Structure 1
Amino acid sequence: FTYRTDVATPQKRPAELACEKITNDLRSIDPVTSFSAFLFKSDSAVGLCRGNWIDKRFYITAAGCVSTVKFTKIEVGSEHKEIKAVHIHPDFSSETPSLNNIALIEMVSDLDYSSDWHPVCLYTSQVNPESYLMGYFGKIQIVADGECFDKTGADLKPSQLCAKNLKFKRTFLGMPIYKVQENFPIHKLFAIVAKESDDFEPYVITKVFDHLDFIESIVWPKNGN
């Protein structure tokens, strides 16, 4: 019997390599929460965009939050950080706002990590998690696609799921949905909310995995470094 020594090790995705670095960084700051909502500012408008930092210079949110106004700054605590570029998913359209509703905000300078403001690892598995999902306001349940049909006007795509809050009645555009795990880091970003809802109504979420190529090509174009 001969053991093979030439079996190739699967190459890690840039997001997986980035997660290894993020995990090491988080161990030194005692993170409290990953969720964040910031005031986005332009010369003539102010908007509240929810989302998550996924890198020192990149914030992920819903495209619908940044597609109509050219924001130039984000208010992070007492600091105003300058926006370098807004990367909206190329297939996002206002005619189908719940589809491909994802955008990346690129900053001019690095974010100084703290227990309140820090990045989150991305969920990089094609398989939907069996354990429960968590939003900022508590547990989230995945429900049948048909419960979201009226909100989209069409059947959901593989990159979308229909979800429902179990404790909080309102859901806001761009809010992160996390897969909760026992090992550190506890949260991984599974999806973001693609359409707001009220009174515990189901809502559409955009799965991160299906947009990893778009995210990685902008945030980690050189193998996660």
Structure 2
Amino acid sequence: MARQIHARRVEGVDKNVWVEFTQLAADYKAVNLGQGFPDFSPPKFVQEAFCAAVMGGPQMHQYTRAFGHPHLVKSLATFFTRIVGHEINPLDDILVTVGAYQALFCAFQSLVDEGDEVIIVEPFFDCYQPMVRMAGGKPVYVPLRPRSEDKMVSSSADWVLSTEELASKINPRTKAIVINTPNNPLGKVSLLQELLSAAAHNAASQEKQVGHVP
């Protein structure tokens, strides 16, 4: 049997910290707080609605609309129109995905070309870097820093994003800025002014901004 040869774009992205920690949690019977392992059932009305849908006949077991069921995307459009303050077209502006991983992967694949740079705010969730690399991009890092070097960090709010440091990393190759709020793993919620400052640099350089809100 011929040796399996992987594409160069997946070199170095085959390791995942969750694989190691999930195995450690299983080996030592620890409570796994890193992933979604609930020890309780969904609400009864959710279970009943699911059972009713499953028993709804052949029409309930077909391929749905690839971008999301019409009822769902219309509800999402109504909800997020109020939040973002401008009209969202449910059929043109919304893509429903199987979790955040798929959404992020689609975003990077559709935005990033070979040689593009993507600014990632540190610390960051483990999937951002490999997804950028698989799209052919180069990750560029901007760390969150303590608000004051003279004081001990006592909460996630003490970490701030330096707009000057962010601006120094932007160049003609910059394609996107990734800001995760609340930050995983710090838990920091980005301040409105921090997001507006990042958006101002985004508008000035015409790159995209990828926001990940768990």
TM-score range, shorter chain: under 0.3
TM-score (norm 1): 0.24
Higher relative helix content: 2
Which structure has more relative contact order (CA 8 Å, sep 6+)? It is 1
- Bigger radius of gyration among the two: 2
Higher relative strand content: 1
